Structure 1
Amino acid sequence: MGLPTWAFAPAALGAAFVVLPLVAVVTKVDWAAFPALVTSEASLAALRLSLLTATCSTAVCLLLGVPVALVLARCSFPGLRLLRSLVLVPLVLPPVVGGIALLYTFGRQGLLGSSLEVLGLRIAFSTAAVVIAQSFVAMPFLVLSLEGALRARGTGYEQVAATLGASPSAVLGRVTLPLVLPGLASGTVLSFARSLGEFGATLTFAGSLQGVTRTLPLEVYLQRESDARAAVALSLVLVVVAVVVIVVARGRRDGGL
């Protein structure tokens, strides 16, 4: 079925609205100085920290997010809708507000932070705080993607496996997860991308200490004030990474259809 002719004009306008700012970044890159700008000591330190923390955050999202998605998709109990809403709140919550919430939870005078302080564990303004902040904002992407895949697949195969005597753990490992693997892979990639690009919650909860909490988005923000060329170069790195992640995520999802 064809589209009405009038739809193409706003579609082109919408695409241009998204693409033109990315093109503008590319046009402002100082290509002669690009290698030196992105391989400076500060830039490499920020990139290494971003990759390390984003990888750790993705692991946390998998460890905690997969069970949450399974419960939301396969269980029914009073308060389920409220739980789903609360789990997905970080999707719409301003990252700075998320950082403040984490600070009042894990900070020195926070809900849990004061007890952790007694045990000698100080989380706020540490590398661990970066991982927590990234996980907080990224986990809903995994939960949403996996829950959608679980609901789309239904429970038919799982019920057959259960009637044949498979334990719940065996059904989960041999039937459920393999069936939704494309959705799980897509959610994992998106969680990694969101962690890599996290800024507001990280700055509020973890600060900006070079080599400790200053990730690549924070480095871009700081370089914007002192060296615009470096900020643009590092921005391009993040744009390229984002494009690669989206292509991989789309390929995974389309491959599972």
Structure 2
Amino acid sequence: MSGNSALWGAGSAVAWGIGDFSARFSSERTGVAVTTFWMMFSGLCFTLLYMALDGIPIHWTLDRLWFLVIAGIGITSATGIFYAALTRGPVSIASPIVASYPAIALPISIVTGARPGLWEWVAMIITLIGVWIATQNKKITNDEDKYTKKYIGQTSLLALSAATIFAFAISSLDIAIESYGPTTSLLGVRVIGIICFIGWFFYQRQLPTAKFSSWWLLALVGLLDTIGHLFLYIGLDSEHGEYAIVASAAYTIITVILARFFLNESISKTQLIGILLVVGGIASLTVLPS
């Protein structure tokens, strides 16, 4: 599969934005580790179903295996840490910091061979600036007393750790996809993630149990996260895969919009300007000549 990498990245942002918004509630119900584990497991099931229905074979090879393993461990760790940061809050701090991962991943992609032109750089920078602006809101929550400087600092540290790990994991994955393709890479990441969490639960002497009423939400998070990863992987496998990395960072815009409609959080004029910059930046990447 191929196509415009920025569009695939934008699709990833939509899926991730809705999925991460949903993960906030599932993590509160079942805990971060349980949510991440069942997200991985349901994601594995959805991936296998998709491959079976579309007749996509598993491309297995030992070539670049370690890059896939590193990507799987990294993505699993980053996701769990990100969910922890979201659950702690404030979301308006955690989400934009993690969304800044392209600022770390882009230099890595340059080192590994990506060569964007001047206008592509301008469009990507506009997109990242828009992401940062759109997540600025002086009113964090109605419960501001809870969020002391120390508390916010701890959340920021978690989010920054997730962003850094995710950036290196995606860069490693970009190399692995050359050998495995998008779908087999996604399958591998899920399997590796499940193995990691089985080891974690065994170490903790804990079972990843969840109430029946939470299963639909866990399945939804798994489906949306899987769609987000699949779209990103297809974008990485397309020409100028770095565009997909940048466009996927717009997921935090989706979270802001959902919070406005479902949690009645305000969107300031400044945030609206940021959203428009993101839309303009991604639109520019989709029409720029390769």
Q: TM-score range by the shorter chain?
A: under 0.3
Higher relative contact order (CA 8 A, sep 6+): 2
TM-score (norm. length: structure 1): 0.26
Bigger Rg over Cα: 1
TM-score (norm. length: structure 2): 0.24
